[in-house]
Amino acid sequence: MRKEIQKILLSESEVRDRITTLATTINKRYEGQELVVVMLLKGAIIFTADICRHLEMPLQIECLNVASYHGGTESSGQVEFLDRKLPDLAGKNVLLVDDILDTGLTLSAVSREVQALGVNSLKTCVLLAKNKTRTEEVNADYVGFEIENEFVVGYGLDYQGLYRNLPYIGILNVENL
């Protein structure tokens, strides 16, 4: 393990197994229907790529670039839309995919934007949900793992742009950076 990582919270195989189970649930929900996955850049890239490979319905993948952490370990409290380029989602079934649910600001802000496009249905999916009181009352429909309120990296999640490539979810050793 790298010295910057204090502890591996979720191993590569734990993440892989859970994603397969989540995908089975999502496949059942959308059986016989088309789905548009909207992933939030950049944190959800790896999770989305892996879960989508297990989805069986006709699937479209789109992305939205938002930021709220700006590189550090605390939410800035504001969600910035770095672009709003989404196709016409009116009448579509949309699954919003993010890496982690923390304060809830991101998921609620993006959900409002997507709902306003007149979608047929909107559900949300996150790999991780922090066990804490959220600023916004929002819950994800599909959650990979509930974790304690700690700053984690790996599997798409970063600290100052780094560590997204780690194949596991780890707790950062802030003293050893």
User: What residues make contact with ligand XMP under the rule CB under 6 A?
Assistant: 40, 43, 68-69, 75, 98-107, 151-153, 157-158
The amino acid at 145: F
Min separation Cβ 40 and ligand XMP, Å = 6
Which are the catalytic amino acids?
102
Min separation Cβ 157 and ligand XMP, Å = 3
Residue closer to ligand XMP (CB basis): 16 or 132: 132
Q: Using DSSP, state whether 53 is helix, strand or coil.
A: coil
Residue 130 in contact with residue 147, Cβ under 8 Å?
yes
Residue closer to ligand XMP (CB basis): 142 or 151: 151
Closest to 120 (Cα-Cα) out of 92, 86, 95: 92
Query: Pseudo-torsion of CA 166, 167, 168, 172, nearest 10°?
Result: 0
Min separation Cβ 6 and ligand XMP, Å = 13
**Cα–Cα dist 152/136, whole Å:** 21
**Cα–Cα dist 152/100, whole Å:** 10
Min separation Cβ 148 and ligand XMP, Å = 10
**Cα–Cα dist 4/173, whole Å:** 5
- As beta bridge partners, residue 145 has 128
Residue closer to ligand XMP (CB basis): 7 or 33: 7
Residue closer to ligand XMP (CB basis): 57 or 141: 141
- As beta bridge partners, residue 62 has 38
